[in-house]
Structure 1
Amino acid sequence: MPTLTKLFSMQEASLHNSKDDCWVVIDGKVYDVTTYLDEHPGGDDVILATTGKDATDDFEDAGHSNDARELMKSFCVGELDMSSPAIPELKISDKKQQTDVAQKLLNLTKQYWAVSVAIVGISVVAGFLFMRKK
């Protein structure tokens, strides 16, 4: 009887990103390496840095041995679901929201302009009064 392979989205796999619960994605497969973190020759921080993304390039760049590749198989918990987007879709804002943001930015720049002019004005008056006392 064939074994069923569990599919995980990248978003779901990326939720497992701590020392107590660590998953990595390599070559489209998802690995739960939580119990291996303390044994990893490169240290746990190397693995923790690869969570939340496809770590295939990082794994290949490190030049892992055939023994390491064989050991990986024991940590496999499923495969990456390629049909789900790797990055969640962004909500597109409406034009009214854009004009609200633009108006707020315009108001903010007006406030900073007034503060700058006030500082320059006070500096000029203070300088004039100082020069007058001499």
Structure 2
Amino acid sequence: MPTLSNFYNIQDASNHNTKDDCWIIVDGKVYDVTQYLDDHPGGDDVILAATGRDATEDFEDAGHSKSARELMEQYYIGEFDTSVPISTKKGFSEKFKHLKNKQYLGISVAVVGISVVVGFLYIRKK
């Protein structure tokens, strides 16, 4: 059982989100996978995208083997502190949510612009 100093919250994990310092959270455990990034078969970008939030779903969806799960244990550094309220668990996707909204705005503007051009060409053709 980990000692109290081996409990980490979402802010702790999200501060370790670079190729030189990378932590992930899977199944309530925190792993320092910095040394493994170059060896990861799926590439380091997959792991880096999973920092700062609970990556359990991503990990499970990838269908990792039993040996991959065993290998991961050597990178274990502590437990994820679940006492932090959910509302403060803002990870990667929350940090960049505003960009997603801008993307939808851009798509909407493009659709309207194309519609105006097509309408203008249709009227001009008559």
Q: TM-score range by the shorter chain?
A: 0.5 to 0.7
Please give the secondary structure, in 1, of the residue aligned with 2:12. helix
Please give the secondary structure, in 2, of the residue aligned with 1:60. helix
Matching residue of 1:44: 44
Kindly provide the amino acid, as one letter, of the partner of residue 44 in structure 2: D
Please list, as runs of the form range in 1=range in 2, the aligned pairs for 1:2-21 lying within 5 A after superposition.
4=3, 6-21=6-21
CA contact (8 A) 1:15 1:52 kept: yes
In the alignment, the residues of structure 1 paired with residue 88 and residue 55 of structure 2 have an alpha-carbon distance, to the nearest angstrom, of 19
Seen in structure 2, the aligned counterparts of structure 1 residues 85 and 66 have a Cα distance that, compared at 3 Å, is same
Structure 2 unmatched runs, 5+: 90-126
Q: Which has the larger radius of gyration?
A: 1
Q: Which runs of 4+ in 1 moved over 6 A?
A: none
TM-score, normalisation: structure 2? 0.65
Please list, as runs of the form range in 1=range in 2, the aligned pairs for 1:85-100 lying within 5 A after superposition.
85-88=85-88
Structure 1 unmatched runs, 5+: 90-134
CA-CA distance at 1:4 after TM superposition: 2.6
Over the aligned positions, Cα root-mean-square deviation in angstroms equals 1.7
Matching residue of 1:123: none
Does 2:59 match 1:31?
no
Matching residue of 1:118: none
Aligned length: 88
Cα distance per residue 1:102-122 (max 9 Å; x no partner): xxxxxxxxxxxxxxxxxxxxx
Does 2:22 match 1:22?
yes
